Chain A
Amino acid sequence: MDKLYLDHVSYVYSAGTPFEQKALDDVTLAIRGGCITGIIGHTGSGKSTMMQLLNGLAKPSSGKVLLDGYDINCDVNDVLEEWKKLPEYSGMSPRSAKKAIAAKIKKTRAKLCFRVGLVMQYPEYQLFEETVSRDIAFGPRNMGLAEEEIRQRVLEAAAFTDIGEDLLEKSPFDLSGGQKRRVALAGVIAMRPEVLVLDEPAAGLDPLGRTFIFEGIRNYQRKTGSTVLIVSHSMEDMARYCDDVIVMSGARVIRQGSREEVFAHVDELAETGLDIPQITHLMQLLRARGLPLPENIYTVDEAVEALRALLGLGAK
C-alpha cells in the first residue's frame, strides 16, 4: 500500500468570491513509503497547499487524502456501516457504536500532526523556548511522553541534525541562522513522525548550511525508514537527495516517478518554468555538439564518471 494517496483531490481558495482560485485541481497521487520524494513546481503551482492537506491542517474541497489507506478527513457517517462490523464495535448498540467510532476518529485526527510532521518555510521564526533542548522537547512533551523518553528523543533529534550537546542549554536566539533552522527541524524530528514534510528546508541558507540540513534529513530518513517529502526549487539539491520526484504545474501533477524518469524530461521541466541542474544542462550542450554521453546525468559525481570514461578512452 502507498504511504500517502491523494484521490482526486481539489482545493479551492475563497470559493464563491471573485478571488476564487483553484490551488489543486483533481490531483491523484501516490507517494511511496520509506523514501525521499521531492515536489517541484513554480510558485503558485499548488505545492504548499498540498503539504497542508497531508496532516489535516487543511481539508480538501473534494477528494480524499489517505494515510496508510485511511481517509484522514473521514466523517463518522462515511465509515459507520463498515466499521460497525469490526469486532471492536460488534457488541454495542448502534448508538454507542456510533459514539465510539466518532471518538476513535477524533483521536486519530488529533494524533495526525505527530504522525505527519510538517516543517514550514523559515521554521526558525517559530522557536520560542528559553533553551534549545526545551524547544526541541516541545513536540514530544505535547505527545504526553514520560520525561525520560522526552530526554532521549531530544538527544536523538539533536544527533540527527548535528546539534552539539554544548548548544542544548543555550538560548535558541543566540544561535546562527543555520543552527536555528536545524533546531527547528530537530523539534519536528523529535516527534519521530512517520512522514516528514518539509517546505523549502534550505531556503536562505549558505551552501554549508544547505548541506547540513539535507544531510540531517537524509540521515533521519535512512535510519528510521520514514517517508520524507521535500518541497524545493533547487533542482541540484533534488537531484542529489531525492529518490522520487513529483512535478506540479497549474494546480495539477504533470509528472511523477523516479528521479531518473522525471529528469529525463528536462525540456518539459524547462517549459513549466523550472530549472534543471547546471550539470544536466552542460551534458545536454555536449550531446548536442556530438559527444556520446548518456542522458541520465544529474549530479557532478555522475558527470565525472561519464566524462572520465569518454576522455580517458581517447587518451589510450
Chain B
Amino acid sequence: MILSDIYIHAENLCFSYREGNGKEENPALRDFSVEICEGEYVAVLGHNGSGKSTFAKLLNLILTPTSGHLTVGGVEVTREDLSDEEILNLRKNVGMVFQNPDNQLVATVVEQDVAFGPENLGLERAELRRRVDDALERVGMTQYAKHEPHRLSGGQKQRVAIAGVIAMMPKCIIFDESTAMLDPSGRREVLDTIRMLNRDYGMTVLNITHYMNEAAEADRVLVINDGRLLMDGTPDEIFARREELQAVGLEVPQCTELVHRLRGLGIALKGDGISTPDACADLILHAYEKLSK
C-alpha cells in the first residue's frame, strides 16, 4: 500500500465529551488508530455507545479530537493552524447521512433541499441543475422533485437526504445508521446506492450499522468497542470470531450462526465466517453430497 492511497489515517485518537460542568466524561475514543484507503467500502460495527459515531464525527470536524493525529485526504485535521478553506474542503469532501431524515431536510421542495449544499458552493446554474437531477435519479426520487419533503414517507425522506449529500460530490460518505428507520425495500435501495457510489464513482464509504447483514456486504469491517478498535478484517474474518462479537453485544448473521451450530453437532463444515446465503448454501450442499457418496 503506497501512502497516497490512504484517505483516512488516524493515530492514537482520543476524544472525550465534556459534561455541563466542564469536566470530561469517560473517553468515547481511546488510542484509536486505523487507516482507510481511497475507494474502500468499510462497515463499522459496535454496540450503542461504543464510539462509532464519535469517530465518524471527527472525520469532518464536527468534533475535534482531544489528542492524537488524524489526516483526511492528505490534510492533517488535528493541525492547530487549519485555514478556513481547508476546513471547508474537509466538510465538502466528507459527507454524512444520519439516521433520522427529519433532522436533515431544510427546504420545502425536494429539489431545493437537494440543491441546498451545492448552491452554497457557488456553482453555475446549469451545473447545479445537472447535479440535482443526477442525484435525485440515483436515489430513485426524480418523480418527487417538486414534492414537499414533509409529505414523503421516512424512507423517501432518507433518499432525499442522501441525494443532498451526493450532489456535493464528496470523496467520502459516512452513513451513520442511515437505514435504521427504513423498511426492507428502502434499506435495499440505500444499500444498492452505497454499493454503486463505491463501485462506479470510487467513493470511499463508511457504513455505521447495527445490521450484520449490511456489514457482510462491505469489503472490510471494523468493530469498535469501548472506544477502541477491537477487530479489523474482511466480513468472513470478523464473523468467524463469533464468541468475541457476542461478548461485546453483537451477533453474527443467521447463516454464520447456523454453520457454527451445525459444526458443534459434529457435522464437518468449512468456512467459519460465512455470512451470505449463497456461500452458506454451497457449503451445506458440499457436505451433503460428500455424505451421500
Contact = CB atoms under 8 A, between A and B. Distances in A.
Interface of A: 19, 41-44, 121, 176-178, 200, 203-210, 233, 235-236, 273-275, 277-279, 281-282, 285-286, 289, 291, 300, 303-304, 307-308, 310-312, 314-315
B164 interface: no
B47 A236 contact: no
Given A278-B253, A278-B277, A304 B265 contact: yes
B210 A206 contact: yes
Would you call the interface of chain A mostly helix, strand, loop, or mixed? helix
Contact of B291 (A207, A275, A304, A314): A314
A310 B284 CA distance: 10
Contact of A275 (B49, B184, B288): B184
Contacts of A312: 265, 267
B183 interface: yes
Contact of A279 (B183, B249, B254): B254
B154 interface: yes
Given A177-B48, A209-B47, A308-B267, A42 B185 contact: yes
9 contacts: A203-B180, A207-B251, A286-B284, A291-B284, A307-B258, A307-B284, A310-B288, A314-B291, A314-B292
B278 interface: yes
Interface of B: 46-49, 99, 151, 153-156, 177, 180-187, 210, 212-213, 249-251, 253-255, 257-258, 261-262, 265, 267, 277-278, 280-281, 284-285, 287-288, 291-292
Contacts of B284: 286, 291, 307, 311
Query: Which label, helix, strand, loop or mixed, suits the secondary structure of the B interface?
Result: helix
A314 B285 CA distance: 12
Given A206-B48, A207-B210, A208-B47, A300 B254 contact: yes
A228 B291 CA distance: 45
A303 B210 CA distance: 24
Contacts of B210: 204-207, 210
A274 B258 contact: no
Nearest to A277: B254
A282 B155 contact: no
B181 A278 contact: no
A233 B258 contact: no
B95 to A, nearest CB: 21
B265 A308 contact: yes
B246 to A, nearest CB: 9
Contact of B261 (A176, A274, A300, A310): A300
A311 B254 contact: no
A281 B255 CA distance: 10
B288 A314 contact: yes
Nearest to B291: A314
Contacts of B48: 176-178, 205-206, 209
A274 B213 contact: no
B285 A204 contact: no
Nearest to B281: A285
B287 A311 contact: yes
Contact of A315 (B151, B262, B280, B291): B291
A233 B267 contact: no
Nearest to A272: B185
A295 B180 CA distance: 30
A73 to B, nearest CB: 26
Contacts of B154: 43
Contacts of A286: 281, 284-285
Given A286-B285, A311-B287, A278 B180 contact: no
A304 B184 contact: no
Contact of A43 (B182, B261, B277): B182
A182 to B, nearest CB: 12
Contacts of B265: 304, 308, 312
Contacts of A177: 48-49
Contact of A273 (B183, B249, B285): B183
A121 B181 CA distance: 9
Given A177-B48, A235-B184, A278-B255, A204 B99 contact: yes
A233 B183 contact: yes
A49 to B, nearest CB: 12
A48 B231 CA distance: 39
Contact of A204 (B180, B249, B251, B280): B180
Contacts of A121: 181
Contacts of B177: 204
A235 B267 CA distance: 28
A113 B290 CA distance: 60
Most buried by A among B46, B267, B287: B267
A208 B45 CA distance: 13
B155 to A, nearest CB: 4
A206 B47 contact: yes
A84 B122 CA distance: 74
A282 B277 contact: yes
Most buried by A among B183, B213, B292: B183
A306 to B, nearest CB: 10
B285 A206 contact: no
